[in-house]
Structure 1
């Protein structure tokens, strides 16, 4: 009886530790304030300052608040770099399952799905990422690229304009806007 009781205590303790480590921490008020300040500065920054602000925002957005979730994100990144898209998707699926409010996990899985040619799931994950972080200009840019692939240049142009409003010096966005301007010029967006 005592052995069963000790076993139960050990199981409960292990479960609590696993759940606590796996759960991302809520975004603190100071992180929200930092994000807001960085985004505000980004809008009026020159190109050099914008690159530095972008790096700070990306670092902030990569923080899940959980070492276990950060490890899944890191493993997914390594798998993606090694072109092992199935492994990247598996890691990112585990991440989104365990940290459904972590926008970066959804964005990264959308990238992996897109690279694997799975456009429907990619768009669904981009929508989820943007619902959680509507200021993620890279996710907005990615949505624009999907619209371009689906031959929807007006929708792509709108997405790129939205991304540019947040990050005016985003090179890929500026290039995309220049490329699509002839297709969207004169059309009511």
Structure 2
């Protein structure tokens, strides 16, 4: 049974939380905020993808060396289909760094690889509570929602994603597919 988490996005961290973010694995909001402003304004798909990769790099590096190393080991284990090893490593990352968004997002991806949608949804929800603009987490969440027949919720997630990352072609296509399906169903 799929448990739908509340699709609530928390506001971005205030500047007073910047020091705490560094210690807990959350990215420094100033640099990330600036990159998101650029991403939202960019109209060139290739340039937007470069900005998105810079944001992803910020998220990856936000936890520090230990968190990044745990993620690298987990990615290697998942690539070798050693999912339980990957989950053990990612469990350590999220316990040590509970605001490290990439720990939660990566753990969700491993759960997805294992076909465990409930746990993946839970981790994606947590990632989005840490970083409401995490377009990777939104993409995963929307994909699960579509796969499980929750088209209305998926549509809302794709809309939110496009508000954050307007040039994300996969989200544009998915949103259009859902709308086209509904329009075709009504004819």
- Fold-level match, TM-score > 0.5? yes
Q: How does 1:29-178 map to 2 (within 5 A)?
A: 31-45=28-42, 46-178=44-176
By how many angstroms is 1:181 displaced?
1.4
The gaps in structure 2 that reach 5 residues or longer are: 1-21
Q: Give me the whole-angstrom Cα distance separating, in 2, the residues matched to 1:71 and 1:53.
A: 24
Q: What is the number of residues matched between the two proteins?
A: 164
Q: What TM-score results when the alignment is normalised by the length of structure 1?
A: 0.79
The gaps in structure 1 that reach 5 residues or longer are: 1-23
Bigger Cα Rg = 1
CA contact (8 A) 1:153 1:184 kept: no
By how many angstroms is 1:81 displaced?
1.9
Q: What TM-score results when the alignment is normalised by the length of structure 2?
A: 0.80
By how many angstroms is 1:83 displaced?
2.3
Larger RCO (CA under 8 A, 6+ residues apart): 2
By how many angstroms is 1:159 displaced?
0.6
Q: Give me the whole-angstrom Cα distance separating, in 2, the residues matched to 1:106 and 1:26.
A: 13
